Structure 1
């Protein structure tokens, strides 16, 4: 650690809570960021394969969003307006309607929730129970839906749930996600059998909720057939279908919504992460018109919507989603990512690719190996993290706008790190 940064680190260790996490893997003080790169106080530049955990799909400090936000602030534009009508909210909703909903034939009301994804999940849970009059919600193994108490009850990770400090997080039935027991096991059929059997002990739920690609759970990607099957089952049981597209959405898997290829019509869709386009806190819940039965202020909060995020989010929609150009570019880069990760999987015994689009990674078999690879990559200028039940997946969440040259350079760093970690692991085993 450079000596001129010791004072900076002292304040973190002295005053910041032990709950801090990502920073423990990247022990440097960052001062600037642009595009797909971050710069530390000592001048070192790092390629960013984390991108705010998919909150920066359009990269750091996009110039058009930045210009619009600076102009809004300089012109004394509204900074905070509760849920009052504002010009910027209207412009955002119009852009969302024009660039996202109408081209996909979707008719959803947009509910401004609290500022993060877990707030959108909480709202979806409450509304599903209100609409159906039922309490139970079906969530899936390895799912991650947030850290507030309701959303946490849906989250599979035992360590995350233990942080609640209570013995029971109720109102949820856990079912196996697609491929949870291996490719040979049809988890959709298992679910159907459970609900068809009146003596299974599992009653019809208020809702089903799943991530099309499980981000924190290890990049487990649901097939179109599985998503379609869950949608059919929900309809058959009179339950609502909630798709959590917080990390997998906003283009991350190659289309704006990660469920588009399945052709399903969720009753609700949660949005956050890159919804603001600029890394600003902003979450929303898309609700089918017939389910929007809230009474005024029945679900509220001081930070419903973020006017600064309306500004940048609108620019993101108009800049990147007015036609198919950006989507096609993302799909092209996804192919480059797949090839690069396959080269990494080829040097790590037993490793395999996971995920979809620009939300892919390599399961290297253990958290120790994955952590070693990521640490070595950071030493050589790449920011990357792990995911999965045991942190066994090296997970790539590079900005979707990353230049091809930078993407390939980052993958080369990652490949070298995997090679060196594999050699060291082999030596240690001998």
Structure 2
């Protein structure tokens, strides 16, 4: 049977499939920052599993740890029973990540995906406060289940719910329609005004950099202001670090530069290290008021993910990787700034920070054209934003200088080709 035939997917897989439409190839092999299709074509990966592969494909450290675990017949599935793999992860995460950052959290395993951790966070915030509403922010994206969709801004995603999405209020994200102070004053006014129609919320939920929403990066001033609003009113602050966390913005948690201390933190995607499904909900101990089994799920005990995640934490025992990400982030920023100047036809503006940056194009469809042309050049990348107006760079944070340079060169070739093609069409 010829598996290098996209008609298999067209005939047998649901119409809901998405990425295989944008990347029309049948992939088989991957290593570090590269993938190969069944024809042997090589691609540089600036997609990283939408942030689930921060350490690249088939990371050698994690692969060897997994191989050893599997050959020992280590337990694979254990719900939330105690296991050696889980104990090693919990202790390592506490010692390597939490303690050095003076963070005190209990770790909850809510299920394997980002939307699972968001659902648990929303449920717990309502349980703790006895309130119903949650405030989210314009262009936020928090998952595809009903609760997570209710705090998601994207109209297309929300429509997929098929029912009204209630018990949430959307407020403007930093710099949405004014400066930072104006945005903070707006939020405070609506919460404090008895005539606004906005009840005192259980929680605020936000991303410090909006991955799917267009790489909007909140300022430290705004994040600190939002935390102050929460503290003064007994509102819980939930940071969704599913995509922006685990080093993607240059620090393990994306909120570290702002110096804030969230009540609940949602982690998934790259916390599993190897692309294996794993999610954490980090809870300040005083809010860990769950009754046993009150929130559960079959796949909370993904022990291979614990093994890979523990191996991944080795990268964070010192600041080598962190400094590398921060240095390479400057290269990405400089490159993108050069592209906006060199190709004014993009009508582009720089978005994001760290290893989640991109260019917003003020020309309809242009960002999608760049991403499509990039694939032709052997570069895998996606778009973001409510209108897919941003082409988005998400390389693995472990990528070497040569790999980063290769990907950036391919991207420039794609931009140049797109601009020339557009000129031909309009002339």
**Interval containing the TM-score (normalised by the shorter chain):** over 0.9
Q: Which moved more, 1:104-113 or 1:341-350?
A: 341-350
In the other structure, the counterpart of 2:9 is 12
Is 1:160 the counterpart of 2:157? The answer is: yes
Distance in 1 of aligned mates of 2:104 and 2:66: 29
CA deviations over 1:177-200 (Å, ceiling 9, x no partner): 001115487211111122232222
Per-residue deviation, residues 146-173 of structure 1 (Å, max 9, x unmatched): 000100111100100111112x110000
- Aligned: 1:45 with 2:34: no
Of the structure 1 ranges 346-355 and 154-163, higher mean CA displacement relative to structure 2 is found in 346-355
Cα distance in 2 for residues equivalent to 1:200 and 1:99 = 45
RMSD: 1.3
CA distance in 2, matches of 1:348, 1:417: 15
| One of 349, 355, 359 as aligned partner of 1:358 | 355
Structure 2 gap segments, 5+ residues each: none
2:110–2:117 contact (8 Å) kept in structure 1:
yes
CA distance in 2, matches of 1:406, 1:60: 13
Of 246, 252, 259 in structure 2, the residue corresponding to residue 263 of structure 1 is 259
State how 1:12-91 maps to structure 2 within 5 Å.
12-91=9-88
Among residues 240, 249, 254, which one is paired with 1:253 in the alignment?
A: 249
Residue deviations 1:200-226 (CA, integer Å, cap 9, x gap): 221210000000000000000001010
- Rounded to whole Å, the distance in 2 between the matches of 1:184 and 1:113 is 34
Aligned partners of 1:237 and 1:173: how far apart in 2?
A: 17
Tell me whether 341-350 or 197-206 shows the greater mean CA deviation: 341-350
Q: 1:105 aligns with which of 72, 82, 102?
A: 102
Partner of 2:294: 298
Measure, in 1, the Cα distance between the counterparts of 2:364 and 2:241: 26
CA distance change for structure 1 residues 132 and 325 in 2, over 3 Å: closer, same or farther? Answer: same
Partner-residue secondary structure (3-state), 2:300: coil
Q: Is the 8 A contact 1:345 1:364 kept in 2?
A: no
Aligned to 1:373: 370
What does the per-residue CA deviation read over 1:279-310, in whole Å, with 9 as the maximum and x for residues that have no partner? Answer: 00000100000000000000000011310000
Q: What does the per-residue CA deviation read over 1:120-167, in whole Å, with 9 as the maximum and x for residues that have no partner? A: 00000000000000000000000000000100111100100111112x
Q: Alignment partner for residue 241 of structure 1, among 234, 237, 240?
A: 237
Change in Cα spacing, 1:81 to 1:184, as seen in structure 2 (3 Å) is closer
For 1:341 and 1:118, how far apart are their aligned partners in 2?
Answer: 31
- Report the CA distance shift for 1:296/1:342 in structure 2 as closer, same or farther (over 3 A): same
| Alignment correspondent of 1:96 | 93
Residue 383 of structure 2 is matched in structure 1 by 386
Partner of 1:117: 114
The reply on whether 1:324 has 2:351 as its aligned counterpart is: no
Q: Select between 76-85 and 175-184 the one with higher mean Cα deviation.
A: 175-184
Pair 1:100–1:367, CA change in 2 (3 A): farther
1:348, CA displacement in angstroms?
3.6
Q: Counterparts in 2 of 1:198-347, with a 5 A limit? A: 198-318=194-314, 320-346=315-341, 347=343
The alpha carbon displacement at 1:365 in A equals: 1.7
C-alpha contact 1:5 1:29 (8 A) present in aligned 2? no
* Cα distance in 1 for residues equivalent to 2:49 and 2:2: 23
Q: Distance in 2 between matches of 1:326 and 1:6?
A: 38
Q: 1:341 to 1:419 in 2, by over 3 A?
A: same
Shift of 1:16: 0.5
Q: What does the per-residue CA deviation read over 1:48-74, in whole Å, with 9 as the maximum and x for residues that have no partner?
A: 000000100000001110011011111
Q: Structure 1: give runs of 5+ residues left out of the alignment.
A: none
Choose from 191, 203, 212 the match for 2:187. Answer: 191
Cα distance in 2, alignment partners of residues 203 and 41 from structure 1? 55
CA distance in structure 2 between the aligned counterparts of 1:411 and 1:95, rounded to whole angstroms: 35
Aligned residues: 425
1:367 Cα shift? 5.0
SS of equivalent to 2:293: coil
Task: Measure, in 1, the Cα distance between the counterparts of 2:250 and 2:337.
Answer: 19
For the residues of structure 2 that align with 1:184 and 1:151, how far apart are their CA atoms? Answer: 26
Find the aligned partners of 1:367 and 1:210 in 2 and give their Cα distance. Answer: 27
Determine the C-alpha separation between the residues in 1 that align with 2:353 and 2:285.
Answer: 30
SS class of match (2:141):
coil
Aligned twin of 1:136: 133
Structure 1 residue 396 corresponds to structure 2 residue 393: yes
1:427 Cα deviation (Å)?
Answer: 3.3
